[in-house]
Amino acid sequence: MTDLLPSWLLLTYVGLLGAVVGSYLNVLVWRLPREQSTTRPRSACPSCGHAIRWFDNVPVLSWLVLRGRCRDCGTRISVRYPLVEAGVAVLFVALVVLLGPRLSVLSLLAVLALAGGGVAMSLIDLEHHRLPDKLTAATSVLVLLPIVAEALLTGSWSRLLTATVAAVALFVLYLGAAVVYPGGMGGGDIKLAPLLGFVLGWFGLPHAVVGAFAPFLLGVVAVLVLAVRGRVRKGSGVPFGPFMLAGTFAALLWAPAVAHWYLEVAGLA
């Protein structure tokens, strides 16, 4: 990362950006699964239909000022909205703090785009058990643009090649998993896999390897935890998208450490 700005100011901007992105993701998460336009009409109270005034649409703050109620009819507004806004703000700041020192601005933008899209995907998948194609496509464009731009600007052809190979590899892996275990993997997961593979591959081979297996590891742990608590019913599919995304981000953050540890354990380093 460049140090154009003092870090506290930069992180403040990143946090504000996250809150605004989170606010838009709330709209996406509500409207996309219901096949509604994500830009029109303006947000309205689902109870009384009154359009939400701009000053009542400030992330987190408006909800606090209104004490979680519609200004017009007093209907409760779910605490989920400010939580998503604050959550994305914290996530963006955390990613910039943790990954900023070892990434270019363009790569960091790609990671933030994947994080934002990933939050929307996870919320929709948890609630509706599917990943809308539109969301995967839009996220893919927003993630790929900065990465391809960086490859062109810096001539990083080998990294671009690794990214492409990893994208194909993860697509094949998930396609295979869907064939072997049809109940577990959905079409949305298979379509998301190449995007995650591409980002992981762009970061390097250790990331791609760790990122390919981390989701399955996390998924197994989650199913065991749920089983122990008696929460798994037969036939109730656990949505896998959130695990794919969590595994990818775990790999982006910690793959070098995992690879180093593995080589040490194997006596190779």
| 77 touching Zn ion, by CB under 5 A | no
Question: How far from 69 is each of 52, 64, 73, 75, 261, CA to CA, in Å?
Answer: 12, 9, 8, 5, 50
Q: Which stretch binds Zn ion (CB under 5 A): 47-55, 56-64, 109-117, 170-178?
A: 47-55
Q: Give the residue with the Cβ less far from Zn ion, 44 or 225.
A: 44
Task: Find the shortest distance in angstroms from Cβ 76 to Zn ion.
Answer: 10
Q: How many residues of this chain bind Zn ion (CB under 5 A)?
A: 7
Q: Give the residue with the Cβ less far from Zn ion, 36 or 236.
A: 36
Other Cβ atoms less than 10 A from the Cβ of 72: the count is 16
In this chain, which of 70, 84, 121, 167 binds Zn ion, going by CB under 5 A?
70
In this chain, which of 14, 21, 32, 45 binds Zn ion, going by CB under 5 A?
45
In this chain, which of 7, 12, 47, 78 binds Zn ion, going by CB under 5 A?
47
101 DSSP 8-state letter: G
Task: Find the shortest distance in angstroms from Cβ 123 to Zn ion.
Answer: 23
Question: How far from 117 is each of 24, 88, 142, 195, CA to CA, in Å?
Answer: 11, 10, 9, 11
Non-local (6+) Cβ contacts of 155 within 8 A are: none
Task: Find the shortest distance in angstroms from Cβ 69 to Zn ion.
Answer: 8
144: tokens are: 């790929």
Task: Find the shortest distance in angstroms from Cβ 80 to Zn ion.
Answer: 17
Q: Give the residue with the Cβ less far from Zn ion, 81 or 240.
A: 81
194: tokens are: 């190449």
The interaxial angle of helices 133-154 and 105-128, nearest 10 deg, is 170
In this chain, which of 48, 105, 137, 224 binds Zn ion, going by CB under 5 A?
48
Q: Give the residue with the Cβ less far from Zn ion, 56 or 125.
A: 56
Q: Which among 149, 258, 160 is positioned nearest to 204, based on CA atoms? A: 160
Query: Which residues are near Zn ion by CB under 5 A?
Result: 45, 47-48, 70, 72-73, 75
